[in-house]
Structure 1
Amino acid sequence: MGKTMKAAVYEKPGKITIKDVPVPEINDSEVLIKVTYTGICGTDWSIYTGKYSADKLPLIAGHEFSGTIAEIGKEAIGLSIGDRVTADINMGCGHCFYCRKGETLLCPEFSQLGIHIDGAFAEYVKVPWKQVHIIPEAMDMLEAAFIEPTSCVIHSMKALDMKAGSSIAILGSGLGSLHAAAAKQRGAAPIIVIGRNKERLELAKKLGADIVISTEEYPNPVARVKELTNGRGADYVIESVGTSETYEQAFEMLRPGGTLAAFGITGDDDFMRINPAKLVLSEKKITSSCAGVGTDWSDAITLISHGRIDPKPLFSKIMPLDKMEEALNLLQKDRSLVKIFISPVVGSEVVDL
């Protein structure tokens, strides 16, 4: 395009600058997307604080986005200028052992848009055309910007392979509420969500939780989960907080023979203590997932567009691009807020959702 655009550039830990940068130039295998909305993820806070991807700075972060196609490379098939789209952010080399097995997330050259390479906290973002998903008419652009986190939850549920009629405990009431919605679709009962914030726990009920447990009332919720499951513990447990303490609680509230899904990301120096004898004798199983990829994205689009998962109760605010840093800090200050969307097209007003 040979033009400039506004972008929120993470210059270094603790510093974001709103500045004019060149509009990305696409090659024949890429498309340029005019951004409508980009959701703020916990990963964006980790990048801001230097906990994650500090070696990639300066960087335009932002990976949960929707927009319209502005330019198309010559190799792109099935796409048109003006299409409403989002894009799978996960990219592998395409030829290594893992990529050839369809395990893109394990590729040694794995990279994510907005985390390792420039993303969507900007007016435009470029992506490989094969990563692009067209948004159905039944889905609005805010929902489309929430496909990425929904795909992550779906990927986790697939790894868990939960059976209908099973009990599940979910630690965390942010994305944990979305896990509850997905668990309801798979026929889980009861669905127990554990969290600290009263407003978030109420949202978890709206999205599918049968029972919520406040850690203000139950600082160690293990005994309460066992009480609710006839003393056994839950058939399945999802850890969606990301601390050593909650991982250890998750293992303890899991029944013998049950499965724990590791979802929350901890720091590099955090460790989970497990007694190996207890693990062996109880035949508990642990699985893990780190992102939604491939068919997880099309499944997320199907579930949202047909109303099987309604993420809108989690949507808190829309804020303009030039308030990027303010929005990040607001999410840390007010834990009743779940999802704030940044938009380069809304002017200067903050919109409450």
Structure 2
Amino acid sequence: MSTRTKIEQLRQIQELEQQLKLKVALKMQRKQKKHLAARQLTEQLAKELQIQKELREAVESEQTLRKEQAAMDEFKEIVAREQAHAKALEKQVYVGCPDWTGSTKNWHPLQEVTKRDYKLTDTDEVELTGSRKEQLRLFKKPCAFGGMRYATSAMLQNGDRMVVKRILKEGSSLQRNQRVLEVDVRCLCIAKRIADAFNKALTQTSLPKSIREARITYSIPSIVSAPDSEVDSGRVVYLMEPHLPGEWKKWLQNDGSMFADRKVPALLEAFVHYSYHKTRKEALLQGGLMILDLQGSLMQNCGHGQACSNFQLTDPSISTGMDDPDADFGETNHGIDGINRFLDSHECSEICRALGLARISGKMQMPAKLAPPDPGSL
């Protein structure tokens, strides 16, 4: 083969290589363009999806805001109705005791009600002990008005003077209202148990006789179910307890604070201190509790011609050091804050010292765990 022929073949090979390289380059370029287009398309789709997500979230947020606003408007309407109802009731409050033995024109006719009685179990829960029918007559106007319920004088067919207390902010469910009242009954049962122990402890001290024979008493109320055509369920429930004789007074508020214009009697202060001292040692009442909201009447005799103080109390509130402050003692449970508020103002008296109540200083804290029972507790 001649040299010229070889040179020609080499040139042809080089041209083929260049053409092949060009084809490869063009193919790579097309692939890169496709990849770039795919990436751009993916990015565009991602942007569109993000925009759609943001729009959807904005719509959902607006819908949520509308629902919240509607719920708030409904709540405001309920509050407005309750306030109007409360004001209307306040105007109807009958100041003083009704005419128990005179004309019946200010009394509703007798109606049949169902009366349920309760007791406190060994585990500090309320237990139904019996149920029976009674004939009850209600006074036409409330005799007292509070933040949680209002009271009306009542009379059984046999002439027994009673007071019924109806929830001010009743729910539509009769069962729910029943549970609320059962919490009140439980608070009263626990307060009575502690008051009975306090009275017994007083008798074992060397205090003056007038103090040793002083008494703090609570009555256990019943829950009464009565017909009422003005409510959807057709029936209402309320507490019923004996009417307290004498002048009604309030010595201590439900948040543990004391009134600036009146002094809490030393016996009552010692009782509140005792309630916390005693229950801090009980396993069932984790962290202890304190009986607050002291109100009722004071009778200055204990029978047998003896002059001593007999406090007949009702409607206590209980503040507790338990982890769940609202679980068992209702809306007036102020928890550790209520306990500390009382302790901030309390000064131990000779009664506290005679009962061996520990002087408590500093702020109480929520307990970390259940304290073991103490067999030597008061």
TM-score (norm 1): 0.24
Structure with greater contact order relative to length (CA < 8 Å, sep ≥ 6):
1
With structure 2 as the length reference, what TM-score do the two structures score? Answer: 0.23
